[in-house]
Amino acid sequence: MAIRVNPGFIDDLDRFGKENIQRCYQCGDCSAVCPHADEFYRFPRKPIRLLQMGLEKKIQTILEPWLCYYCGDCSDLCPRDADPGDTMMILRRYLTSVYDWTGLSRKFYTSHWWELAAVLIIGILIALLFSVINPHGIVTSLTPEGGVKVNEMFPVETVNIGAHIMLISIAGFLISNIIRMWYFTLLRDKSLKISFMSYVTQFWKLIVHFVTQIRFNKCKGKSYWLFHWVLVSGYVLMFVLIVGKLKWFQTEKIYSWFQPQRLLGYYATFGLLIGLVFFFWGRIKKAGQKFKFSHLSDWIFIVLLLLTTLTGILVHIFRIEGMPVATYYLYIIHMAVLVPMLAVEVPFSKWSHLAYRPFAVYFSEIKKSALSKGKKDNKINT
């Protein structure tokens, strides 16, 4: 059965980022230079071909964009300046919106106004909420150590409930979207004969790639992987501290600096700062192919995280230094940045790749074993 070509598809794709894929004449230089392309995943050439022809259903099944870490070698080499690397980026945005059943992802990616408004509205609501629900207002008295009584101003129990609500909803969105991703990429294609065992045997790859992102290291420019890893480790650690272990982390007692609360917090902050400065600087300077094109979603993600980190640092300093008024306002601002960042970016926008990428690696390995088995069977048959 022939698949219908949709030449208008790229006009839609354009809304996820300006592509130049019709320049591509399929020479395949990009796939030749890509360290991740192999006989099963011939990208960027093959996905670009599907895009050119607008084979929407086929595109929904591909995992290749997630296997790309955008080193930019392909774009450097492209004889037609078709920017295959950026096309993979655009495809990741598109696929994120395909996996997302709420439709919000598509709205955020295709409309700057939607994304900005969502961040702004959630930020204002959170600021209002925190100014209203605190029972004592600004508590000016200090703890015996001379620190600010944060837990009196913003009771950790209440904040923790909010944190858990957020954790559950983010997880809910992400998990349901990953199930959709699983359906699109592995289940829908009936010709793919996947054994249950490969889900089990390949599972360790999911964990390894989530923790290390080691495939990134195959690309040229090892510093990218390193900075990215430092950023991710800081981010994940901080996420666990503030969302999962808030009661342990947000204390009035000022621990000495070698206590785990402070040590872990400092490491996470340091990791975030180092990573963010590297990526922020790279995007401003457009240093290399990787940073040549910056979509609004790329900027919002860096800017919000940087603001969250900086306000978090300030809250910490003001609390220790015993500055209750400054602590009070900075805490509210910190929350007004942090919450929309987590609520908008993690499930619906750029940050979702922290889940999709390791799952894509996992799924791609499963698919590969199914395909290579199919190949072997074919060989036996023919």
DSSP state letter for 7: T
Nearer to another protein, 26 or 158 (CB): 26
Shortest Cβ distance from residue 56 to another protein (Å)?
12
Shortest Cβ distance from residue 15 to another protein (Å)?
15
Shortest Cβ distance from residue 55 to another protein (Å)?
7
- What is the Cα–Cα distance from 42 to 341, expressed in whole angstroms? 35
Q: How many residues does the chain have?
A: 382
Nearer to another protein, 55 or 127 (CB): 55
Nearer to another protein, 80 or 107 (CB): 80
Strand partners, 142: 148
SS3 372: helix
Nearer to another protein, 13 or 95 (CB): 13
SS3 136: coil
Shortest Cβ distance from residue 171 to another protein (Å)?
37
Torsion angles phi and psi, residue 25, rounded to 5: -110, 25
Nearer to another protein, 5 or 125 (CB): 5
- What is the Cα–Cα distance from 137 to 114, expressed in whole angstroms? 33
Nearer to another protein, 32 or 263 (CB): 32
Q: Which residues, other chains included, contact 126 with Cβ-Cβ below 8 Å and sequence gap of 6+?
A: 335, 336, 339, 340
Nearer to another protein, 46 or 283 (CB): 46
Shortest Cβ distance from residue 22 to another protein (Å)?
5
Nearer to another protein, 53 or 323 (CB): 53
Shortest Cβ distance from residue 48 to another protein (Å)?
10
DSSP string, 146-171: S-B-HHHHS-HHHHHHHHHHHHHHHH
CA-based nearest residue to 39, from 12, 57, 64, 61: 64
Torsion angles phi and psi, residue 139, rounded to 5: -90, 110
* Dihedral of alpha carbons 43, 17, 76, 292, sign: negative
Q: Which residues, other chains included, contact 346 with Cβ-Cβ below 8 Å and sequence gap of 6+?
A: 170, 174, 352, 354
Q: Which positions touch another protein (CB under 8 A)?
A: 1-5, 7-8, 10, 20, 22-26, 46, 49-50, 52-53, 55, 58, 80
Shortest Cβ distance from residue 17 to another protein (Å)?
16
Shortest Cβ distance from residue 292 to another protein (Å)?
18
Contact at 8 Å (CB) between 340 and 123? Answer: yes
